[in-house]
Structure 1
Amino acid sequence: MAYKDEQLSEEKVFKDPVHRYVHVRDRVIWDLIAAPEFQRLRRIKQLGTTNLTFHGAEHSRFNHSLGVYEIVRRIINNFQDRPHWNKDERLLCLCAALLHDLGHGPFSHSFEKVFKLDHEYFTQQIVLGDTKINEILERVDKGFAQKVADVIAKTYEDKLVVSLISSQIDADRMDYLQRDAYFTGVSYGHFDMERILRVMRPIEDQVVIKSTGMHAVEDYIMSRYQMYWQVYFHPVTRSAEVILTKILHRAKHLYETEDFTFKLQPTHFVSFFKGEVNLADYLKLDEMVVHYYFQLWQEEDDEILRDLCERFMNRRLFKYVEFNPNLQMNEWMELYKLFQEAEIDPEYYLVVDSSSDLPYDFYRPGEEEERLPIHLLMPDGSLKELSRHSDIVESISGKKRTDHKLYFPKDRLNELKDQALRARIMEILYGQGEKVDVE
């Protein structure tokens, strides 16, 4: 029997808190899960620093990747005998679903911003490079690894396959919304996924939804909207991300400073500091390693690095106020000078952070990121774009919401001996927004 058709002697299952069970029968999938590059995802949290806000958010990219695979497996089972579905794409869909997040690094997006990295690029490097993952995929068929990489990169010729893991209603989003809601303990991310799976239908280039399932999709979109603003963009989580980002910037700066020597050479970071990251170095760096360095850097000679690491490790986060730099540039410039006068380096201790989200969008041809809209399959066989049929979705469609916060160490301000200086800083900060405490 060919490797791509080989089945396990009996079905394996992973007990899962969201989907109850994750079912594996294909030898290829079982082997991919066992590969070291996939096992690495156990050491990378799905939600980065969110566990400092919602203490239950300790789940990993490994959990999520299995969940996306399971949802795609169920979708494919429902598509088996339907027109437009190519049964030959089954294993490709399962592999792409399982491996779609393979290239995420520690603390994911915060880490990427500092070192100008792209997890999708590294996902393709792992799939196509000298890895166990690549070895397994190439055993399926010569060129199969490239197909998997193309699906994940959204360039694969069969757009229906791509839409299963990358669209405005895909297996990726359906898993992370439910999984993140479960582990954070909030109620926002729950929706009737079973109903959505039942009313999904394949057409030539995308998945559409039977019109009778519209209300379940409305619930899904509103769940996503609430999760972004109540969980993903939570200001306390963003405070931790700000400190994390500043630690990495400071460590990079010190590495480039000729007269500074780390007590322990930051070996795992060197290629990142130099901007010469190779795949081997990338795979060695996970959140356990990062935490190890942060723990040691609490005893470094540099006061800023030492303080920021101690704050991150012990959750002494920055406070925040509402602050729009586009409208308050004069206040920003004055604060910057006042922090310098107070000998609190504004490069590391006065940070504007902005978050924005577009919960649902209709088709906008020619835009940099074209979002394929969700289509409803009407009783007469025609397709109707969701926001034109749903008042709820229409009300938020195409509306981008942005939130700005200014982060700073209030404890340092409270310690200022110059009362006039402290009073002016506080007047600017709390004169612009309601006082908010970090809890």
Structure 2
Amino acid sequence: MEERRPPSSPMLAWVEAEARQENTAPSEHHEHVMELLLNEAGSLAVYKKEEESLYSILSFVSSTQQPPGCQDKDLKMKFLRSIISVCRTARNCDLWCGLDAFCKKYELAEHIKVLLEEEPLDVLHTAVQQQAMLALGHLSYVNSVLEGKKKSILLTCFNSVFLLPSHEYLECQSRIYYLRTLDAMDRMLRLFIRNSPLSGFTELQDILQILLPFANSDSEAICERAVGRAAKLTGWLATRFSPEDHSADGGYTECNVPLLGQLVGWLLLCHTCENRQIRWEALDALYYLYQFIQKNRRTAPEASQQPQGKAEAIPRLPLPTATDIATNFGKYLQQSQRTDVILKVIEALRDSNTYDKQEVSGVLDMAIEDPASWLTDVPEIVRCIYRHVECINTASARRSLDSLILCLANQRPREVASTLLQMWPSSDRHANLQVFLYGRGGDRRLSA
């Protein structure tokens, strides 16, 4: 009987055994994968502990020449779970050497993104989305593998879940997948921030940049999912995240998140909408966001001049009004961030928006009483008013907008006039200026 040579590696033994069991020789694909695997063996510290997972990853990557959507679901799941296993072992055993080069060479993040893009947006019947987001979270531990790719990845992840039909219309099994996928997304977002090579605040800014457009959707389902992610993320930031632990030198890291004002403005408006779930999720997010900002008081340049005693938290009972919330946040936001809140409020006064116009108008009334804090960027506010004024006709909204115009005109007449004149054709400037200002805010004309 011919003596069989021992296999060159345990993985080759597994492949040969499988082939013998099926009475077939190893396929060309297996041979190609084994060649790839053996070529990587010497440079991967995690190779000995995760040989089978690495084989599964390479097997999937080398099979992606098939048309989109033709790969077997089990093969996809094995690929994603293998990435999680390899990254977890590398982390637990400190076996990072060579892993970043391996992930980049075989474009693991890009393959995960393609898998998400191939999933249907009208139904959720597998755990592919869930496992993909868990895999991306684990990949964030690997140095620089996701660098320059996270924004595109985040957009794909949000699209894959936010654009699904409302959970009320999902079948029972799909709802289970849906809830687990949302949990995986929340974990992924936390890991992106915690494992950021620069600072968690930079990562938070990038996440908000992708998340906020979904918040402005006319679809209640999309808005509810977006505000839910904000609530989960701010809850973690307030209770678990320490900027000092994730800064390069371990020292204090200033909370530099320019989009913070837009986030506060959006959540403040969601707190006034008719959908009860969105309202309570928004209040939770605001409560935790306020705690988070309190822990990082250097958000506002003038914070160093304020007393450093413990600030009063946003009260939960009785239910705070939009004005209460804006007043509390105003102490800690930068001037540009306070302007962002005002811009969101003006936009919310449009007739097409379903926010509580009376509550929203109250925020403008508050800003008018303290223009030195809230109405500093006059040109930007005037441009915003001009864009939306023709679509604002609700009585309470119109009164507040007229009062705002009068306040700006009286406080900073030259800036108001010059901004308006720049926006109109030369032939219409004088007439338009009079129509826009005279008679809307009282008897006084501009003394520009």
Q: Give the TM-score taking structure 1 as reference length.
A: 0.25
- The answer to which structure, 1 or 2, has the higher relative contact order (CA under 8 A, 6+ apart) is 1
Indicate the structure with greater strand content. 1
Name whichever structure is richer in helix by fraction: 2
Q: TM-score, normalised by structure 2?
A: 0.24
